[in-house]
Structure 1
Amino acid sequence: MSVPRWPSRHGSRNERAAVRFHYALVDDILSREEFDRRIDEKIASHGGAIDETAAALLLVDELGRSHLKIQAITSSPSLVSFFGKVVQITDPKDFTRDDGSTGYVSRIELADSTGSISLVLWDEMAAGVQELEIGVAIEVIGRPKKGQRIEVHALAIRETSVEISISEERSRSFSSNADIDARILALSSPRTFSRRDGSEATIQEAIIGDPTGCARFITWDPSLLDGIPEGISVRITGAKRRSSDEGVEYIAQEETRVIPLDEEIGFSFTPSNEVHDKGVYSVRGEIITLHPPRQFTTRRGELSWVRNLFIEGPLRIVIWGDRACDPFLSGETIEVYNAGARLNRYGDVELSVGFGSAIRVVPGETEETEIEGVIFLSPEGMSLFDGKTIFIIEPPDLQIATRYRVFGRVSGRRFIVDQATPLATDPESLLARAAALIDPSLSPSGVRH
């Protein structure tokens, strides 16, 4: 059975688009020509008092593909069609598939007089939720699947003028806001993207935590987080709370406020040996095995990166995207927040650091110092070699193959550069050092002992 893609909002008001939508429910029974002929007969039999959309609905019902009430939807291999009022919308999220390609997913909660159900949208349709609004009625063709509760994976969807009534109690249950005291564990930079209508929107996300665990906080107004650094405890008021198999989210509303707190909110990590298949976890541990980043091509033809490391436990951490190229060192302690657990192809549990999660190196004790060395690119990242030790430098914005005098703070093998002065290279001294490397019996002056 073929189904159309989600028509645009303007197209959803076009009767012919509606007819195509309903034909998708019966295209394994009738040809399109026969379907159109029967629609004309329906309209004529009602003396022209109904339009093509109403005639198509009547014909679909006669052919045994009638629209269901939400309460009547059960797990089944068959397609279902139904009407529902949008009572909750999850913003589209990108994720990394097992093959490394990028996908998009969003959820809509739909309700009618009999109950509510979650509608799952993938890829192009997931991006289309930006065109929907709370309270509109939509018509759905989808495939029901059973998880913790019945949900429908959408194949086609369109707005409709059908009137749908839901109880006041049910309506309130989807619009309740929440207040939470939490610590800002990780904060992303604001990012701007283009909507389908060409307008731009900016979104910023944070990972917050309290003694019960982690959650994502999402705002379309980044000024809410101005002056709020990582590590600070805050009170978030008036945010909408959502929970799913993928974790908990708090979505900022117009009335939402973020207020710094004087007291520190507690947070604890899950021991790595207590991480099980499925679920969302935050862990802390020392890196015991570290693999280099690996580049691959997604199914969309885009280049991306993946990296594996193990922390004590042992527990495998898989890092996707550009973060896989961040410098990590064996022996360092890392913290991973809000990462999804799964079984890999070998049957081992691993945590996937992708969209909606964060990873950071825990800084150790630092000591101020000044050294001279040459900048080069090592497998760990931009590095400085002083003749004895290789240091990973932060920030990595010095010129490769250049000698510097750097002042800053050393933490293990990391050098946080506060000031860097390039040094002129003496060709004769460089030749003497090269000769000494080739033949240690040569002195720096080039004279054999």
Structure 2
Amino acid sequence: SKIEIEPEDERTEDLPPLSETKVKISDLDLDLDFVDIIGKITAITTPRKFKRSNGSEGKVATLRLVDETGQIRVSLWGEIAEKTNELERGESIRLENASVREGRGNAPELHLNTRSRIVRNIPHTEAKDLPKVEQKLLKIEEIEPDMPVLDIAAKVRRTFPINEFSRDDGSKGRVMNVILADETGTIRASFWDDMVETGQKLSRGDLVLLENARSSMGLRDQPEIRVGKRVNVKINPEDVEIEEMKPRRVKMSELEEGLDSLEAVGRIIDVTKSREFERSDGTKGEVASLTLGDESGTAKVVLWGSKTETLDEVESGDTIRIKDAYSTAGRYGEAEIHLGKEAKVEINPEIVEDLPSLDEIEKKFSKKGRIKIADAEEGSQVKIRGTIVRVFQRRPFFNICPQCGRSLGSVESEELCEKCGEVVKPDHKLVVNTIVDDGTANIRVVAFGKLAEKLLGKTTQEVFEKISEEGELADFYEKIDLAGQKITVTGNVKRDEYFEQLELRARELDFPGAKDEAERILEKIKDRNVVST
């Protein structure tokens, strides 16, 4: 036999790189590429499937590991995600060839793939210094979808009415939703069937301890807690304390849907008059809006009920501070700030930061000329022209509340609007995802509502009926035949954190013809002539 050192063989490129070192959790650094690490499992999720941007299917699961120096989140991708079905909380394991990446809050986290390995039954000498895993109360930010067992203590922020529904087998069920909060965020907890009676005992401000609960994927792909008959619920236990939730301060460019207890400071750009509307139960409501801006961008602010009276005290150019508001998707998919009865508004408060003037904000964020996709930047408002090179074949509509426009919840409670606190007959809202290319780069373009109707050339109801008739989404999109169409889009550039790419939320959309392009070129020539003279 022969041993050859550093052979010239193309198969060597497929060998996994050696990990740089065996480290403790506190030693993890983003400058490290691959590491070996020993830890004890404190939390675990079952594998879940997801769709990649190219249409293929992926699989992911997560762990939380601790050692004597700290804790860390571990993501398992592909087939190795199935290993979580064999692992147990409290088990000591060694991870080999784990890659170090930037995670939430810019902190390091570990990722495992086909080149990584999980070693169980490690020698006692390697695990002897690991801490004992006792009952650990998770923070809300630590909860992942599909955790089979979790314990959490949080305060009740909002409760909602009971919703009754019919299951596929014809049996009746009940669910009651509660919004819980701690210092790290908020989460929805759903009390099911007999546990509804327990949920009814909760009031705003109560401290609740949930033991042996589980999590699932909920609204907007966010985790939610499921409270069934196996869960032990303690209300205001004397031996448990948690910190109060702190408002999350956001800039306009950082705004995204699904935020709760947010705080924002900005200058009022314009104000719309309040209008009256009728709820599904026949009662009247009032709503108004304004546009708020800062140095990073602009956003729509929607005021409900008595909060509309604030408009009597403000005008364009005033500064306001908003606290305890929430965000949701607007008509064109852009995030909006909404002010309910719990929100607070300060008019012309003393602020440390310097806000740009009204003129500066309007000049910076008014409509600009068309740009190349390659020049698009996160947080900017842009206009692009390109060719649709791909249409994502997904269900092109979702359910919204007909009164406030908020997205509704999971299948079992899809008619319960959490904002309005009542059962409603949902409306359908269209959403179409495409990839647009202009030769310099491509970008994902998302069109909602009327713009999605314009893109598809059909009303929401027509789309709903067509898909119901066709049965297959592929048949529907094939007949629409959008690929190859020239398109002009104006909108806001956001970053999709899940796919780590920019996307353009459309606010205006057109199919330009030769005449439109000729007029644009003439205008450009005129502008140059004006500058030269």
Q: TM-score, normalised by structure 1?
A: 0.39
Q: TM-score, normalised by structure 2?
A: 0.34
Based on CA coordinates, which of the two structures has the bigger radius of gyration? 1
